Structures are given as structure tokens and as C-alpha cells.
Chains A and B, each alone.
Chain A
Amino acid sequence: MSEVREPGFDRIVALVLRVGAFSCFFVMLAGLIVGWFVSGRIPLGIERAGVLLMLATPVVRVIVACFLFFREKDMKYGWISLGVLVILMLGSVFGIGEH
């Protein structure tokens, strides 16, 4: 790797992604199964929760990496991660449109 790093870093970030992907999968699946029996707002709400969880997973991944970099006193990459986070947040502000 470009710099020496503890393997635990990879493992924590991998865990975030794995937990995110699997929990979204099961939440969405639950929404589909519920939707098979009842129609309307309940299954749609569960599916929406799954989609939002999926959108949040990369954001959480950036937050966790940012925290880990600052804890390792790796300031440069801590700030870079924070910058990525700011861009992601700006997207949710500018996404509001009258389209």
C-alpha cells in the first residue's frame, strides 16, 4: 500500500459496507414480501427505508474512515475524508428542486 497501515482499518471499513449491504438487502426483501400480501403504504415505507439505508451506507463509510484517520493522527487524509463528506452533504441540499 502507499503507506504502512494497520489491517484493522480495512476490516472496519469492510464491516461497515457489509453490514450496510446485507441490512439493506433484508429490509428491501421484507418490503417485497410484505408487499406480496398487502398493498399500499406499509410495504412502500419498508422499501423506502431500505433504499435510504443503501444511500446512507457510503456516507457512513466516509464518516467512519474520517474518524479513523483523525484517530490515527493522519490529518491530511482526515481532512480529505471530511471534504468528501461535505460534497455528499451538499448534494442533498442542492438536490431539492422544483423539477
Chain B
Amino acid sequence: MVTALLVILGFFAGLLGALTGIGGGVLLTPILALHFDITIRQAIGTSLVAVITTSAASSSVHLQRHTTDIRLGMTLELATAFGAAVTAYLVGYFNRNVLEGLFAGFLLYSAITILTKGGKVKPLEDESAFIVDEAVIPPYEPKRYPLGLAASLVAGALSGLLGIGGGPIKVPVMYIFMNVPLMVATATSNFMIGVTAAASAIVYYRRGDILVEYAAPLAVGVFVGSLLGARLAPRIHTKVVVYLLVGVMFYLAGHLILHLLRGWL
């Protein structure tokens, strides 16, 4: 029963995503493309729906804690949405092998980055956001808007190309270069992901690359999984979960590469 499998898959992707802070989209796209017999373009479009679901649910929590900078988010969304819509459009002209190769490269890069950081993906201050209900944020003024917009354009372009959120680019740029407190950067990045993913998802949908019969069970599973994950996150030792995730990422990257090689041989 494919539908039941998709609900379970979405559940675990959502759970892992919420526990580790790494979006579930990174896992969903390759699993859909490799094990569910749909093209990678359809896999990207379909998992974008799950990405929007997670962003909407989790950023409503951040907003109620008043840790999101809506003005900053909206400004950078000009760049992320534009980048995402443009690459989503271009993907229509991409060869399937190019996309699979790009995705495999992206998976390997992310997995190795996590390993070199010693399994630390979630900044410490972010964890306090789960404990403190009304966070106290020091006054700040975002700086270097041109740099922030340029990085957002890249994050958006990657999102439209691979069906991912792009948080790992936006958070450090806002935190390190734009003078934004880490907690606000995390919440604002999460806030932006919904619009960024929607900008590309609309293009994928119009092209027929969102398979509704796959997207609905997946999103239902992701929704439940990420809500549960957000509740469990403060209580679970995330390092073990992160290494599990890295293992899955390596496996999927290897599988994608094998899939590519088989096509050429």
C-alpha cells in the first residue's frame, strides 16, 4: 500500500527534521525518486509541499514567541522567492541525470559538513527557544543588506533547484554578516522557507510536477512527525539522531550515484 508507506516516510522525515533542525526535504526527494518510481523533478515538486507544511507549522510557533523579524524576512524573501521561481522554471529544461548528480553532490556536501562540525547542527541558543516561552532579544539593527540579499538569492535558487529549504545558508548569513541574533536568524529563516518553497512549488505545480496522490500522504505524515519532533526535541539526545541522519544521507547519495552510473553503462 503505497499511501500508507508515504505517510510513514513523511512521519519519519518530519520527526528527524524537527529533532535535528535539518529539513526533511533533503531526505524525501531522493527517497521518492529512488524507491517510488517517479522522476526526480516530480520528487522535488512533491517534497516541496511537505517543506511548506513544516515551515508553516513551525514558524507559527516562532512568531508567537516574537522571535521572528518579519520585516527582515520579507525583505530577503524578495531575493529568495525570485531565485526559487527562476530555478524552478529552469529545472523544466534540465536533464534528469544532471538533477540527480546535483542532488547527490548536495547530499554528500551536507553530510560531510555535519561530520566535520562533529555532529553539531543545531546552534545551542536555538535549543533555549524550546524552553523559554517569551525570549528576551537584545536590540539590534540588521546590517549589510546587499550581502544578505545576494546570499538569499543563492539560497532561493538552491531551493527551487533541489526542493530544499536553504536554512543552512540563510541562518549563518543573517547571524554572522547581518548582525542578527542567532535565535532571530533561525526563526526568520524558518519563516522565509514557506514563501521560498511556495514560489518554486507554484511553478512545479503548473508544470504538473507535483503528484497530488504522493504529496497528500507525505504532507500528512510530515505534519504529525514534525509536531511530535518539536515536542521531543528538548528531551532527546540529538547527536545520535544526527549521526543516523548522516548515515541515511550517505546511503542516499551512494544510491543516487549508482542509479546514475547504471544509466550510463
Contacts and interface: CB of A to CB of B under 8 A. Distances in A.
Given A61-B195, A95-B202, A95-B203, A2 B72 contact: yes
Given A1-B69, A20-B56, A58-B52, A87 B78 contact: yes
Contact residues of A: prevailing secondary structure: helix
Contacts, number: 167
Interface residues of B, number: 57
Contact residues of B: prevailing secondary structure: helix
A17 B56 contact: yes
B85 A21 contact: no
B74 A24 contact: no
Contacts of B59: 14, 17
Interface in B7-54: 7, 49, 52-53
13 contacts: A5-B70, A11-B64, A17-B59, A18-B57, A21-B56, A28-B217, A51-B219, A57-B56, A58-B52, A61-B195, A91-B202, A91-B203, A94-B203
Interface of A: 1-3, 5, 7, 9-11, 13-15, 17-18, 20-21, 24-25, 28-29, 31-32, 35, 44, 47-48, 50-51, 54-55, 57-59, 61-62, 65, 77, 80-81, 83-84, 87-88, 90-92, 94-97, 99
